Amino acid sequence: MTSVMILNGPNLNLLGTRQPEVYGKTTLADIEASCAAHAKALGISVTCAQSNDEGTLIDHIHAARGSHDAIILNAGAYTHTSIALMDAISSVELPTIELHLSNIHARETYRHKSFIAPVAIGQICGFGPHGYILALDALAARLSAK
Site for ligand CA2 in 9-38 (CB under 6 A): 11-12, 14-15, 18-19, 23
Strand partners, 81: none
User: Do the bridges between strand 3-8 and strand 70-74 make them parallel or antiparallel, or are there none, so unpaired?
Assistant: parallel
Q: Counting contacts by CB under 6 A, is residue 100 touching ligand CA2?
A: yes
- For ligand CA2, the binding residue among 50, 74, 96, 123 (CB under 6 A) is 74
- For ligand CA2, the binding residue among 101, 120, 124, 140 (CB under 6 A) is 101
Shortest spacing between CB 3 and ligand CA2, in angstroms? 23
Shortest spacing between CB 118 and ligand CA2, in angstroms? 17
Site for ligand CA2 in 42-71 (CB under 6 A): none
Distance CA 104, CA 85 (A): 18
Residue 89 near residue 120, CB atoms below 8 Å? yes
Q: Where in the sequence numbering do the catalytic residues fall?
A: 23, 100
Quick one: residue 116, left, alpha or beta (phi over 0 = left, psi -120 to 50 = alpha)?
alpha
Residue 138 near residue 123, CB atoms below 8 Å? no
How many positions of this chain bind ligand CA2 (CB under 6 A)?
A: 16
Q: Counting contacts by CB under 6 A, is residue 117 touching ligand CA2?
A: no
Residue 75 burial (CB count, 10 A): 26
Residue 30 burial (CB count, 10 A): 14
Q: Which residues bind ligand CA2 (CB under 6 A)?
A: 11-12, 14-15, 18-19, 23, 74, 76-77, 79, 100-102, 104, 111
